Structure 1
Amino acid sequence: MARQKGVTEGELPRTKTPRNTSRARQLRQQMSLPEVLLWKLLRNSPDGVKFRRQHSLAESVTVDFYCAKARLCIEIDGMAHDMGDNPDRDEQRDAVLREQGLEVVRIPASDVLKSPEDVAEGLVQLCKR
């Protein structure tokens, strides 16, 4: 059986949902300090786990980090995520992602600032399971 172009073993083929790649590009230029610290560790994971940053998964959903092989979305939550209607909005986004068969992990930005190495190692291990 021939492999589909752009699909590696263990991954499902990408669906043709509209994605907002220009927004993702913009967010890559505006990453927060916790996101930058974590990306420096995840981008060259010695265990061969591949991550994408500010990855657009749907027209209105861009996640901070994404591991395609594990189908894992990683969100780094700063204080703003606890204010106003943001918790409800986050829940709705998580539900949309779960409907697509994706797992969502939310990590407080304060945890990343305390120990980015520990957070990165935990994420790599989570993706390897």
Structure 2
Amino acid sequence: MTYAERRLWQYLRAGRLEGMKFRRQHPVPPYIVDFCCVEAGLVVELDGSQHSPAADAARTRYLQSQGWRVVRFWDNDVLREVEVVVAMIWDFTSRPALSPTPLPPGEGL
């Protein structure tokens, strides 16, 4: 783990974020995501200077196609304002994922 990942993990581990359970280095084949909260369907990725916007966009699209919501932060954001990053992650975990509600039987097409 990078220093930024270790720092953020101190806030996410062991249910420290309002009881939400996060996993680190979780496999979502063919990828391994930095952090995820299965209950909230949320992937948290930290990006450093080695990240390619095109590769990150393809990765995000794939994860979204698998039903995950993806939020990305720069390593520097975690290092400078970790409390703000944690608050934003909490906003995502407490906000329900947008999914269409099925119509009752007999309604629709």
Instruction: Classify the TM-score, shorter chain.
Output: 0.7 to 0.9
Query: Which of 1 and 2 has greater Rg?
Result: 2
- Measured in 1, the distance between the counterparts of 2:17 and 2:34 equals 20
1:110 pairs, out of 67, 76, 82, with 76
The residue aligned with 2:92 is 126
- Measured in 2, the distance between the counterparts of 1:109 and 1:46 equals 19
Deviation >3 Å, runs of 4+: none
Q: 1:92 to 1:115 in 2, by over 3 A?
A: same
- Give % identity: 40
Are 1:75 and 1:104, in contact at CA under 8 Å, matched by a contact in 2?
A: yes
The residue aligned with 1:63 is 33
The residue aligned with 1:48 is 19
Are 2:17 and 2:90, in contact at CA under 8 Å, matched by a contact in 1?
A: no
Q: TM-score normalised to the size of structure 2? A: 0.80
- State whether structure 2 residue 3 is matched by structure 1 residue 37: no
- Measured in 2, the distance between the counterparts of 1:43 and 1:113 equals 17
AA of the residue aligned to 2:55:
R
Cα RMSD after superposing both structures? 1.2
AA of the residue aligned to 1:57:
V
Where structure 1 has 5 or more consecutive residues not aligned to the other structure, the ranges are 1-30
Are 1:49 and 1:128, in contact at CA under 8 Å, matched by a contact in 2?
A: no
Structure 1 residue 117, shift from structure 2 partner? 2.1
**Count of residues in correspondence between the two structures:** 94
- State whether structure 2 residue 50 is matched by structure 1 residue 80: yes
Where structure 2 has 5 or more consecutive residues not aligned to the other structure, the ranges are 96-109
Q: TM-score normalised to the size of structure 1? A: 0.68
